[in-house]
A and B are shown apart, each in its own frame.
Chain A
Amino acid sequence: MATNDANPENGASTANARKATAAMLVAFALFAIFYSEGATRFARNLPGNALTDVLVNTADAWHGLMDDLGPARLAPAVRDAFERLHGLSW
């Protein structure tokens, strides 16, 4: 069943789907930049094969770059602050 895309509601749905896609891509990009350690961990947990080796090397190189540039150091700093709160005793 096809519907007319000239309907303003239909056009809005398409625009909102694009908006949501853009939002998810931005979220993925933020993860890649600020949480590159997660990418290395994910790659290392994949089943071992030639492709995985390439992925692990790429993820390691990316994480090294993010660490050198600075964004990858944000996650450990936040985690340390959280661990201090987590470790409080009476």
Chain B
Amino acid sequence: MLFPTPEFASFFLVVFVTAWALRTQLEARKLFLLAASYFFYGYWDWRFMALLAGSSLFNWAAGLLIAGSSNETARYRLVALATAANIGLLGYFKYYNFFMDSLTDLTIALGIQRDMPFLEIILPIGISFFTFQGISYVVDVYRRQIKPVASPIDMALYISFFPQLVAGPIVRASHFLPQLDKTPMLTGTAVATGFLLILNGMLKKTVIAHYLAVDLIDPVFSNPSQATSTDLVAAHYAYVVQVYCDFSAYSDIAIGAAALLGYRFRKNFDRPFGTTSLQQLWQRWHISLSTWLRDYVYRPLRGDKRDAGWRMYRNVFLTMLIGGLWHGANWTFVIWGAIHGSALVIERTIKTRWHDWQMSRLRLAPAGAAVTTGRLTPTPLAAFAPAFIGWFITFHLFTLAAIFFRSPDLSTAAEYFRAMVTAGGGAELTTPFIAALTVASIGVHFMPGGGMERIAERIGGWSGPALGLLLGFGLLGIAVIGPEGVAPFIYFQF
């Protein structure tokens, strides 16, 4: 059941009305939301409902066992076992054939080719997301950051809650579970925020992401050697806009739907294209994954010590490499992760050297120089120039690396880069509409944040029919100019 469909709209109306009718009966509400979430998941493929239930129960039991043990070695073994089981599940469904494929290539290269046991494996939708939630839960219990949840219903609902089940955001147990034990509240601002997020998500997914993909990106990436340089350059910019609009749309609708049901999810994207460093970009792009990787990959790699130097750089690189591989079983994702890892390492090195150099200048500055905040006060141009250079490099590194992310294999990516430089030719597929859509979608990232929150506060006091006119005409406009069918969200494949 895709979000931008009449099926989901009808489903959500029934869930909304029933959930609020059960507002004061918390246990009944949880059971109802759990049943609704399994219905939502089973609508795609009912066979994987047992997998979802099994994963939830396993992590629930693991949490209880870890918390119940006072022996630190036993606790460590239990969390390691639970994490390994979660990764094993993800590995089997997502990476088994990739591993076999790579092993076949290796045996051919070594001249010892063998027939590998390839399997017909269907990837269960949302497995990357609910597995990561399971891991974060058992690790948080192990770290004593949260108490284990006593009720399997609460655990199952945390893992399967339908707004975030299929493509995130990756919700933390410490943030979501306490909300289940409180009587849900719904303010006028929350209603308006929910509707605005849903409208914004629908616009980004069904209009912006759709037209960029259909008119330019899909034809160019399907055969880069036939495209002109102008279209190839435009398509690589448009692609990051498409991914942003597609994925942030899912997050917006998920956060909006959860808000309407009385639950708060954290922001998952915060104008990432306006950032002036890669580190900053990763703090504002797919925030729930970035923070997950920080807390459950980078920090365990770092250990108790706050390392500097090569160990820190190695850990940053490995974290991004794993982040790349999480996106899919393909060498293109590994390369994409390696590019980001290497770039973050280089960026940190330059920043450290730059900081050291500035400090040495500060020490050499004559007494009475314009030192007010611990730095030499820069002129406006001197302040703008590094920010612009930082943005330019960050943005282009992101868009160029995205060519690997979008290409089905390394040879297509290589062909894309080659043709971008050598093909020549003007805009054949890049129409004024597509160019304007791309530029405008990037431009909004430079506007001040919090605009939607301010509008929601302003219209939160409107009557139901007035909000209905806004929601109805907004969705109507999107449906009329959008396509007849809706393509699945890009992140469903991850």
Contacts and interface: CB of A to CB of B under 8 A. Distances in A.
Nearest to A20: B191
A34 interface: yes
B480 A26 contact: no
A23 B25 contact: no
B477 interface: yes
Contact of A23 (B432, B465, B484): B465
A30 to B, nearest CB: 3
B433 to A, nearest CB: 5
**Chain A contact surface mostly:** helix
A85 B431 CA distance: 10
A20 B480 contact: no
A49 interface: no
Contacts of B433: 85-88
A20 B467 contact: yes
Contacts of A10: 24, 183, 185
Given A35-B479, A88-B431, A88-B432, A17 B471 contact: no
**Chain B contact surface mostly:** helix
B480 A12 contact: no
A24 B256 CA distance: 14
B432 A89 contact: yes
Interface stretch (B15-23, B217-225, B346-354): B15-23
A26 B260 contact: no
Contacts of A13: 20, 23, 184-187, 262
Interface in B412-455: 427, 431-433
B6 A38 contact: yes
B110 interface: no
A2 B23 CA distance: 9
Interface residues of B, number: 45
B464 A78 contact: no
A16 B190 CA distance: 9
A27 B480 contact: no
Contact of A19 (B188, B469, B473, B481): B188
Interface in A1-55: 1-3, 5, 9-10, 12-14, 16-31, 34-35, 38, 41-42
Given A18-B464, A41-B484, A23 B24 contact: no
A82 B482 CA distance: 10
A24 B20 contact: no
B481 A23 contact: no
A30 B9 CA distance: 14
Contact of B481 (A14, A41, A78): A78
A26 B469 contact: yes
A74 to B, nearest CB: 8
A46 to B, nearest CB: 10
Given A27-B475, A78-B481, A85-B433, A20 B16 contact: yes
Interface string A57-85: 00000000000000000010011001001
Contact of A29 (B186, B187, B472): B472
A27 B466 CA distance: 10
Nearest to B464: A22
B461 to A, nearest CB: 10
Contacts, number: 127
A3 B24 contact: yes
A14 B188 CA distance: 11
A90 B428 CA distance: 9
Nearest to A39: B6
Contacts of A16: 186-188, 190-191
A12 B183 CA distance: 13
A86 B473 CA distance: 21
Nearest to A16: B186
Given A22-B468, A90-B432, A34 B476 contact: yes
Nearest to B211: A86
Nearest to B460: A16
A22 B465 contact: yes
B13 interface: yes
Contact of B475 (A5, A20, A31, A89): A31
B13 A28 contact: yes
Contacts of B71: none
B168 interface: no
A14 B23 contact: yes
A19 B463 contact: yes
A22 B183 CA distance: 22
A22 B188 CA distance: 13
B194 interface: yes
Nearest to A89: B431
A26 B477 CA distance: 15
B28 to A, nearest CB: 11
B100 interface: no
Given A14-B20, A30-B468, 12 more contacts: A2-B25, A20-B16, A25-B468, A26-B464, A26-B465, A27-B475, A30-B469, A38-B479, A78-B480, A82-B480, A86-B433, A87-B431
9 contacts: A10-B183, A12-B186, A13-B185, A16-B188, A21-B16, A21-B17, A23-B465, A31-B476, A82-B481
Interface of B: 6, 9, 13, 16-17, 20, 23-27, 181, 183-188, 190-191, 194-195, 211, 260, 262, 427, 431-433, 463-465, 467-469, 471-473, 475-477, 479-481, 484
Which 5 pairs between the two chains have the least Cβ-Cβ distance? A26-B468, A22-B464, A30-B472, A27-B472, A17-B20
